[in-house]
Amino acid sequence: MEFSIDVKGLNKSFGDKHVVRDLALKVPRGQIFGFLGPNGSGKTTSIRLICGLLTADSGSGTVLGYNVMKQSAEIKREVGYMTQRFSLWEDLTIRENLDFVARMYGMDDRRAAVSQAIEKLGLAARQDQLAGALSGGWKQRLALASCLLHEPRLLLLDEPTAGVDPKARRDFWDELRALAANGITVLVSTHYMDEASRCDQLAYIAYGKLLAVGTAQQLIEANHAADLEDVFVGLMKGTEDNFQ
Amino acid sequence: MSARIPRARSPARLSFSRWVGIMLKEFIQLKRDRLTFGMIIGIPVMQLILFGFAINSDPKHLPTAVLAADHGVHERTILWALRNSGYFRIEREARNEAEAADLLARGVVQFVVTIPENFSRKIARGERPQLLVEADATDPSATGNAIAALNGIARNALARDLQGTLGRLNPAADPVELRVHRRYNPEGVTQYNIVPGLLGVILTMTMILMTGLAMTRERERGTFENLLSTPALPIEVMTGKIVPYIMIGLVQVSIVLGAAQLLFGVPMLGSALLLYLCVLLFIAANLTLGITFSSIARNQLQAMQMTFFFFLPSMLLSGFMFPFRGMPEWAQWIGSVLPLTHFLHLVRGIMLKGNSFTELWPNIWPIMAFMAVMIGLGLLVYRRTLD
């Protein structure tokens, strides 16, 4: 099997705060991999380590075949990273934002790619509006479009649906499914159980430690739980006893 | 069942405890923002020290060169009197006129005193020889008091020499004819000094502030993370972001120079090309400082405060507002680290004195050195990744 992410022993500390402990992940190509865990559990930092934004203090492995410790420049080129907070430029228009991002990735067919993305978004009529004027759901779709622009092989999405209405969330996940069917690997962090159940595999992380990995079915059976929510509430209780 | 007692007080009435709550919150937030807190203490302390100790609008001990063709007794008297007045510090003897002119052009000395041939003999004969004092009057306020004191100095000093047998020469007319040449700015027009100086002040303010804000704005809004997740390299981000500000700087310079010519009639004796090259260097130095500030500052407010913290001594210690040579040595030392100090020399040198590159070099390399240090510091602080 081909793994888009294959890392082990990743550690990251900020000062004396050990945020990620011995993270090991294997994500096969074309899967949607769900990242769950309480707030402050190290999800965001883990994603940043994988996309080359941060360098781990120790660890080894590959992301898209590149050395995760050394080849962050190569990794960045082929990864699409969507930040938790809307991080496009609110004082640029939709087209200007996409055009800028396309330039950052040095795309040859910039104009065509941007026009195509806008068309696909259904924002052709509003392409000259400022990104800051968009509603939450549209901002999220624009952000996704911008990190798909350079045709990455791996998508890293940090709580992409926080604050988005149910209909928009469902559309968003349908799109992720379609991407995965085309061979794009998706790593997505979420707090929503319905989203978790749509993932091919799930990982539960707390206090910087990976506590459980498997399909939704496997996790439910292994923990003798009624549903996913039970699994995670149970895991959360267990870790609180261990760490506090 | 008892009536429900409202938990919150009536919103319409003034509430002392609400007011205290708001005040306390403000104090807590102020305390958390270390940099702002530091500025609240730092700025008044700095102003006290600068205004209280460093600034002196009556500069003394101004460097003076002597071009003496006669070494008689009266020459010594004159020089002794100049030195004793406190205004003149006789530092060197020029060998010839060319050297004297060069010292003045480069700004090494503020005055050149020329003692003509047979000075003492002519005094003895009552021929009223000329005593020529040339002043670098680019900054009229730096030389004004010294020049005003000259007349009295010459007369009183010689009065003592001319007692006794030479007493007959004394009372009627002055024994020497004092000639003062205010070089580079003969009419002592303040604008000649201020307008070129403004170039530097405006550039310092806008260049540092604009770049500082441009970088911290990205960080504050979270867009920096997006930028970092693309393959963009730090050098691309840094240099790409500053080019627009370089252009803004050049526009500002052109506006001030245009006004200098059209509104204030400030002469432009040197090369405009050379001036623009110096401007580019100065802009670059300020931009690197702005970037360094923005790497340290966590938000736009802090970037603004740091700019102000740098701007204040730049204004006061560079020789823009107050004569550089009037300041105590420690303040001159700080001043000579600041790019603005050297830039003022460059602009005044080119516009008012028509200086050439070699004459300007002593003020060019310090700006380059400042920039090199800032680039090093900036790269050290710039966080490629978020850690």
Residues of chain A with pLDDT under 50: 244
Per-residue b/e over A171-197, b at no fewer than 16 CB within 10 Å? ebbeebeebbeeebbbbbbbebbebbe
Query: What would the pLDDT profile of B237-290 be if each residue is shown by its tens digit?
Result: 878 888 899 999 999 999 999 988 898 888 889 999 999 999 999 999 999 898
Whether the CB of A151 is below 8 Å from some CB of chain B: the reply is: no
Say what the pLDDT of residue B326 is: 84
> Is the per-residue pLDDT at B8 higher than 80?
no
Say what the pLDDT of residue B328 is: 87
Say what the pLDDT of residue B296 is: 83
By C-alpha distance, the chain A residue nearest B236 is A104
Query: What would the pLDDT profile of B21-33 be if each residue is shown by its tens digit?
Result: 899 988 888 888 8
Whether the CB of A14 is below 8 Å from some CB of chain B: the reply is: yes
For all residues of chain B together, what is the average pLDDT?
A: 85
Say what the pLDDT of residue B169 is: 53
Contacts of B227 in chain A (CB under 8 A): 104
Asked if B232's CB is within 8 angstroms of A104's CB, the reply is: yes
Say what the pLDDT of residue A164 is: 84
Asked if A48's CB is within 8 angstroms of B231's CB, the reply is: no
In eight-state DSSP terms, residue A238 is H
Asked if A53's CB is within 8 angstroms of B385's CB, the reply is: yes
Name the minimum distance, in Å, from the CA of B296 to any CA of chain A. Answer: 18
Query: What would the pLDDT profile of B58-100 be if each residue is shown by its tens digit?
Result: 888 899 999 988 888 888 888 888 888 889 998 888 888 899 9
Contact indicator for B139, B91 with CB cutoff of 8 Å: no
Q: φ and ψ at A55, to 5 degrees?
A: -110, 135
Asked if B226's CB is within 8 angstroms of A90's CB, the reply is: no
* Higher-confidence position of A84 and B155: A84
Question: What is the per-residue DSSP string for A93-122?
Answer: BHHHHHHHHHHHTT-TTHHHHHHHHHHHHT
**Distance in angstroms (rounded) separating the CA atoms of residues A195 and B170:** 107
What order do you get walking across the sheet with A201-206 strand by strand? Answer: A79-82, A154-158, A185-189, A32-36, A201-206, A209-214
Asked if A104's CB is within 8 angstroms of B230's CB, the reply is: yes
Q: How are beta strands A17-28 and A32-36 bridged, if at all?
A: unpaired
Name the minimum distance, in Å, from the CA of A73 to any CA of chain B. Answer: 6
Give the whole-number percent of chain B exceeding pLDDT 90.
Answer: 23
Please give the C-alpha separations between residue A32 and each of A157, A177, A196, A215, in angstroms, as whole numbers: 11, 8, 10, 11
* Higher-confidence position of A52 and B386: A52
Query: What would the pLDDT profile of B39-50 be if each residue is shown by its tens digit?
Result: 888 888 888 888
Say what the pLDDT of residue B385 is: 46
Expressed in angstroms, the distance from the first to the final Cα of chain A is 39
Contacts of A87 in chain B (CB under 8 A): 221-223, 225-226
Angle, CA B244 vertex, CA B238 and CA B249 arms, to 5°: 110
For the whole prediction, is pTM greater than 0.90? no
Query: What would the pLDDT profile of B304-357 be if each residue is shown by its tens digit?
Result: 989 988 998 998 899 888 888 888 889 999 999 999 999 999 999 999 998 999
3-state helix/strand/coil string of chain B: CCCCCCCCCCCCCCCHHHHHHHHHHHHHHHHHCHHHHHHHHHHHHHHHHHHHHHCCCCCCCEEEEEEECCCCHHHHHHHHHHHHCCCEEEEEECCCHHHHHHHHHCCCCCEEEEECCCHHHHHHHCCCCEEEEEEECCCHHHHHHHHHHHHHHHHHHHHHHCCHHHHHHCCCCCCCEEEEEEECCCCCCHHHHHHHHHHHHHHHHHHHHHHHHHHHHHHHHCHHHHHHHCCCCHHHHHHHHHHHHHHHHHHHHHHHHHHHHHCCCCCCCCCHHHHHHHHHHHHHHHHHHHHHHHHHCCCHHHHHHHHHHHHHHHHHHCCCCCCHHHCCHHHHHHHCCCHHHHHHHHHHHHHHHCCCHHHHHHHHHHHHHHHHHHHHHHHHHCCCCCC
Tallying the residues shown for chain B, one arrives at 387
Asked if A77's CB is within 8 angstroms of B225's CB, the reply is: no
Contacts of B385 in chain A (CB under 8 A): 48, 53-55, 72
Contacts of A79 in chain B (CB under 8 A): 229
User: What is the SS3 assignment for A25?
Assistant: strand
Say what the pLDDT of residue B2 is: 54
List the single residue in A77, A88, A89 with the smallest CB-CB distance to B231: A77
Asked if A89's CB is within 8 angstroms of B223's CB, the reply is: yes
Asked if A101's CB is within 8 angstroms of B223's CB, the reply is: no
Say what the pLDDT of residue B11 is: 66
Asked if B225's CB is within 8 angstroms of A83's CB, the reply is: yes
